[in-house]
Structure 1
Amino acid sequence: MAIISSTLKSVKDKCGLVPFITAGSPTIDVTEQAVKLLDQEGADVIEIGLPYSDPLADGPIIQKASKQALEQGVTLEIVLNTISKVYTKINAPIVLFTYYNPILSKGINIFLEQIAQSGVRGLIIPDLPLEEADYIADICQAWSIELILLVTPTSSMSRVEAVIEKSQGTIYIVSSTGVTGLRENVNQEMLDFVSKIRSRTDKSLILGFGISKVQHVETVANWSINGIVIGSAFVNRLANCDAYQGLQDVRRFCGSIKSVLRKV
């Protein structure tokens, strides 16, 4: 069962909110509190990034957060222990964002078994070769994890069609070329790209990379998507040297985004 997809399709608002935070930044305790706060403020799905030393798809804000977490000794086991403590206390399902190398290092079957048992319900691997997606997806399905595949504006339509076919239920549309991060404007040309994908599938579509402002959300929420992913803007707020202030900033920002999504 594609839990993430079904959750997004059941959102009462026109479009769901998928906040992203980096596990262990600024501390693993703050991560646990942030997940609870995001859920309380109406996050529909929560994406947690596993700290990694070579995060090729991430911009400077998330890279810095990942480095900070690693320097504090945050490991996969610590992250999964935190998720296991919190996932039964929230409504939003948790998606884990990780690169392929940590999965291969642990062993694919062991990794997927461990994250499933911790309460993870979705998985994003930005550097997963499409040729290996079927194998990973089969194992994910056995553990009731939804593998979420990505397409970018530079993807050929043949690749887009392949992702649509292989996707278990949710497709992540990267809204800009390059890495994650804060941007001034949303690329309006993305509307055509989203429309092309929507015309080919009724699977859940989420849009991310560079969406960081209320104005961005107001623009893209009316596109034919089921969810908006916001990462760097949340990670940046949590980076506040005062943990309490950072959490309050996250609470307010999440609430303001959900308020916009209820109105569009």
Structure 2
Amino acid sequence: MNRIEQRFAALRQAGQKGVIIYIGAGDPHLEATRQLALAFDRVGVDVLELGVPFSDPLADGPVNQMAAQRGLASGTTPAGVLDTVAAIRRESQIPIVLYLYYNLIHRMGLERFIERARTAGVDGLLVLDLPPDEDEGYEAAMRAAGLCPIYLIAPTTPDDRIAFIARHAAGFIYYISREGVTGMRDQLADGIGTMTARIRAHTRLPIAIGFGISTPEQARTAAAWGDAVVIGSAVVNRIGQLGPHPDLVPQVSEFVSQLVRAVKAP
């Protein structure tokens, strides 16, 4: 098992739900990304998702698009993100997933990218625009490297497609709980419980619920339906507001610790 699988196995044994936090790598710079990763580990985050900056992040809403722009402006590249993961690994074993678009992998070369990700200490990839039936050797290369190919399931995904995606996924299933792009919302989407039950009928993988979870209260509610919750835009928004402020890491990690406590409190 890699770190993602180990973490979910430990959560299951402890009867706890997981917290997955997304941030844009290189926002405001890669040293801040490293420091935030270590701080998140200390407050109990279970999996860290690092968004690799890309010029056309079509699955992302305005908050995460701006984070990608700030990451690009700070000079962040895929190679720089991998170097930062390697730096995190010198002090932490927090499971790390790269959230990215396939162009970035294609540019470096599929096998080379996956091998560099493996050696840096990445545990999984979530490639937003690569469905499992168009992977051109991606899944085989990922499994050979011991990395988890993570896939999305949407509220509109039919049962036969859910079963197909689940057969190809590893680590966890990312259930995007609302149609559209990432972003903060005032309330959770309808039908989360019904949809997670449909997904569970086709897989034993953990189900992580994301898109629109913005507050500790929403995180706690969503965690009751899934095995983990994913919070991104609400954290990224705070990073964007603070920028290179000296209190960036303590202020953002305090908000994240509230999310962790909300999900894990008995």
TM-score of Structure 1 vs Structure 2, range by shorter chain: over 0.9
Supply the AA of the counterpart residue of 2:7.
Answer: T
Correspondence for 2:38? 36
Say whether residues 1:153 and 2:151 are aligned partners.
no
The 2-side partners of 1:50 and 1:172 are apart by 18
Distance change >3 Å, CA 62–CA 191, structure 1 → 2: same
Correspondence for 1:5? 5
Correspondence for 1:93? 95
Correspondence for 1:232? 233
CA drift at 1:190: 1.7
Matched residue of 2:230: which SS? strand
What pairs up with 1:1-264 in 2 under 5 angstroms?
1-11=1-11, 12=14, 14-133=16-135, 135-223=137-225, 225-239=226-240, 240-264=242-266
The 2-side partners of 1:134 and 1:186 are apart by 36
Residue ranges of structure 1 left out of the alignment (5+ in a row): none
CA drift at 1:132: 2.5
The 2-side partners of 1:241 and 1:143 are apart by 36
Contact 1:53 1:67 in 2 (8 A): yes
Supply the AA of the counterpart residue of 2:202.
Answer: R
The 1-side partners of 2:137 and 2:243 are apart by 42
Q: Deviations over 1:208-253 (max 9, x none)?
A: 1111111111211111x22111111111111213533322221111
Contact 1:96 1:123 in 2 (8 A): yes
Matched residue of 2:40: which SS? helix
Distance change >3 Å, CA 241–CA 88, structure 1 → 2: closer
Contact 2:28 2:244 in 1 (8 A): no
The 2-side partners of 1:128 and 1:241 are apart by 31
Matched residue of 1:58: which SS? coil
Distance change >3 Å, CA 8–CA 50, structure 1 → 2: same
Q: How many residues end up aligned between the 2 structures? A: 263
CA drift at 1:130: 2.5
Distance change >3 Å, CA 195–CA 172, structure 1 → 2: same
Contact 1:13 1:262 in 2 (8 A): no
The 2-side partners of 1:97 and 1:258 are apart by 21
TM-score by length of 2: 0.94
Distance change >3 Å, CA 64–CA 208, structure 1 → 2: same
TM-score by length of 1: 0.95
The 2-side partners of 1:51 and 1:186 are apart by 27
The 1-side partners of 2:171 and 2:105 are apart by 22
Contact 2:214 2:231 in 1 (8 A): yes
Q: Deviations over 1:53-100 (max 9, x none)?
A: 000111111100111111222111111111101123113111111101
Supply the AA of the counterpart residue of 1:259.
Answer: R
The 2-side partners of 1:70 and 1:134 are apart by 28
The 1-side partners of 2:188 and 2:195 are apart by 13
Structure 1 runs of 4+ with >3 Å offset: none
Residue ranges of structure 2 left out of the alignment (5+ in a row): none
CA drift at 1:203: 1.0
Contact 2:27 2:74 in 1 (8 A): no
